[in-house]
Amino acid sequence: MSYKDTQMENQNIEWKRQWKDDILKTICAFSNSSGGLLEIGRDDYGKIVGINNGYELLVELPNKIRQAIGIVPSIELRSEDNKQYIIITVDASSSAVSFRGKYYLRSGSTTQELNGTELQNFILRKHGKNWDSITLPKVNVSDLDIASLRKFREKSVVSERLTKEDLEVSDEALLENLMLVEDEKLTHAAILLFHENPERFIFGAFIKVGYFENDADLIYQDEIHGSLMTMPDKIMETIYLKYFKGVISYNGIQRVETYPIPRPALREAILNAIVHRDYSTGIPIQIKVFPTKVIIYNDGRLPENWTIEHLLSTHRSRPYNPKIANTFFRAGYIETWGRGIERITLSCKEAGNPTPQFEALGNEIIVTFNLEKADNVTDNVTDNVTDNVTDNVTDRKSKILNLIIDNNKISVTEIANYLGITSRTVLREIEKMKKENLLKRIGSAKGGYWKL
C-alpha cells in the first residue's frame, strides 16, 4: 500500500504533519483493524510538507511503538523534493492490542476508542468467537420450548436443508449438530432461538412495534416476545393485521389484497434485523409505522471496512451472529449468499414501490420504507373492488374477515385484541356482516366456528 493508491485519508490511510505520541492510538487502531499506512510529513491534503527530525524518528519510533503497543511495524524514511517524510506500515494483528490499557479501532478515516459491549464483542472476534457462541450456565436442553424445536424440525423438512433422518434425533443431538452447544453448555444462540422466554437471560430480546401519527405522537404499540424461531411469523401477522390497511380487489372470484409494503420485502428486512442484531446491547429491535413510511431500527454494525455502498452491492454473506444465521438457514428463513438486500429491493420494484433507504449510524442500522402508495390506502377499502363486490366492506370489516379467514375459530375477544378495539365494536361489525350475508356463525360461541 502506498500514497499512490489513494488521494485522501480513509480506513487504511492517515497523514500527519509531525510526530506526536498521541499518534500511537492510530497505530493501535490500524493493528486492531485491517492494517494501515501512516505517513509523517504530509498535510491533511496529502501534500508533502517535510519533517526536520527524520533520522531521529527512524531510530526512536521502533522502540517507542514496541514498548507502547507490543508490535513492530515497518518504518521507512523517504525524501521527495528535498523534504523528508516517514512511512509507517502497520499489519493487522491476529490478537487484540492496546495502548495504555485502552483499545482502538478504525472507523472510516477516524480512530475510535472501544468501550462496553463493543469492546467485549471485539475481544471475542479476535479470539475467533462471536457473542452468540458464548455459553450460559445452568440452562439445560429440558428448559427449551418444545413447540419452537418442533417448528424448526417442520420448517427444515420443508426447506429440504435437513433430511428427516437428520431431524429424527434427540433435542440434545440436534443442538449439537447445529453447533449450538459448547463444552456441554447451551450458547446464547440456543437460548435466543429456542427458549420460550429468552429475556430471562438476555435483556431486551424482543421486538417493539408502534404506530405513530408523526414523530412525537404514538397512537398504539405492541411487543413481540418469545423464541426467535417463532418471532418472524408473529411480527408479520401483527403488522399486516393490525398496522397495515389492505386494498382489496378481485381477479374474477379470486380475492387480491395489496398492502403498502410487499410481504417478501418486509419479511426479509425483519429477518435481516433478527440475524444481524447486536443482542449484547439490551436494546430491542424497533419498528415504527407512520402513515407514509415504516422504519426499522436495529442495534448492529456493518462488517469491518464495509460501507452502505458495499452493503447495497453484490457481496458475500457475513452474518453478525453466525450460529443464529445457520439455524435460520436450515429452517429455510434465509439464504447464505448475501442476497437479502437485493431481494428486498427487487420485491419493492416488482410491486411498484420505491427502493428502501439503508443507513448505518454509529451502532445502529436503519431501514426506511417510504409508502408512496399510502395515499391510495384509505379507511374505505372498496376503491379497487370490482362491481360484483358490495361497497359496504369497510377497512375494519376487511381486517375482521382476514382474521376469520386465517382462523375460523377465532374468538371475538381475540379479534378485538389483534385490532386494538373493544369487543363491543367487533360484535357490532359482525352483526352488520351477518345482515349483509357476508358471515354467519356455526355452532356455539365456544365450540363453533365462522363461515363466510
Give me the residues of the chain with pLDDT under 70, please. Answer: 1-7, 248-256, 305, 372-394, 446
Q: What was the pLDDT predicted at 139?
A: 93
Alpha helical stretches, state H, 22-53: 24-32
Summarize pLDDT for 190-246 with one digit per residue, the tens. Answer: 999 999 999 999 999 999 999 998 888 899 999 999 999 999 999 999 999 899 987
Alpha-carbon gap, residue 98 to 447, rounded angstroms:
67
Let me know if 419 is exposed, middle or buried by CB neighbors in 10 A (0-12, 13-18, 19+): middle
Closest CA to 191 of 145, 230, 130, 156: 145
Alpha carbons within 13 A on the beta-carbon side of 148: 26
Q: What was the pLDDT predicted at 22?
A: 93
Q: What was the pLDDT predicted at 391?
A: 37
Q: What was the pLDDT predicted at 209?
A: 96
Task: Cell numbers for 189, please give them.
Answer: 444462540
Q: What was the pLDDT predicted at 249?
A: 64
Cα-based distances in Å from 333 to 8, 46, 239, 258, 302:
41, 48, 18, 23, 21
> What domains does the chain contain, in order, with CATH numbers?
3-114 (3.30.950.30), 138-385 (3.30.565.60), 395-451 (1.10.10.10)
Q: What was the pLDDT predicted at 258?
A: 79
The answer to whether residues 265 and 356 touch, using CB atoms and an 8 Å cutoff, is yes
Summarize pLDDT for 337-356 with one digit per residue, the tens. Answer: 778 888 899 999 988 899 99
Q: What was the pLDDT predicted at 2?
A: 41
Task: Cell numbers for 317, please give them.
Answer: 454473506
How many C-beta atoms surround the C-beta of residue 398 within 10 A? 19
Alpha-carbon gap, residue 237 to 217, rounded angstroms:
24
Alpha-carbon gap, residue 179 to 201, rounded angstroms:
20
Identity of the residue numbered 42: R
- The SS3 of residue 176 is helix
Residue with cell 458475500: 316
The gap between the terminal CA atoms of the chain, to the nearest Å, is 70
Alpha helical stretches, state H, 219-262: 231-238
Cα-based distances in Å from 316 to 307, 310, 403:
14, 10, 39
Q: What was the pLDDT predicted at 252?
A: 64
The answer to whether residues 226 and 179 touch, using CB atoms and an 8 Å cutoff, is no
Phi, psi torsion values for 207, nearest 5 degrees: -130, 135
The answer to whether residues 438 and 431 touch, using CB atoms and an 8 Å cutoff, is no
For CA atoms 381, 383, 388, 392, give the dihedral sign. positive
Let me know if 367 is exposed, middle or buried by CB neighbors in 10 A (0-12, 13-18, 19+): buried
Judging by DSSP bridges, how do beta strands 13-16 and 285-289 pair with one another?
unpaired
Task: Cell numbers for 334, please give them.
Answer: 434465509
Supply angle C-alpha 185, 191, 197, rounded to 5.
135
The answer to whether residues 393 and 436 touch, using CB atoms and an 8 Å cutoff, is no
Alpha-carbon gap, residue 415 to 441, rounded angstroms:
15
The answer to whether residues 296 and 366 touch, using CB atoms and an 8 Å cutoff, is yes
The answer to whether residues 289 and 243 touch, using CB atoms and an 8 Å cutoff, is yes
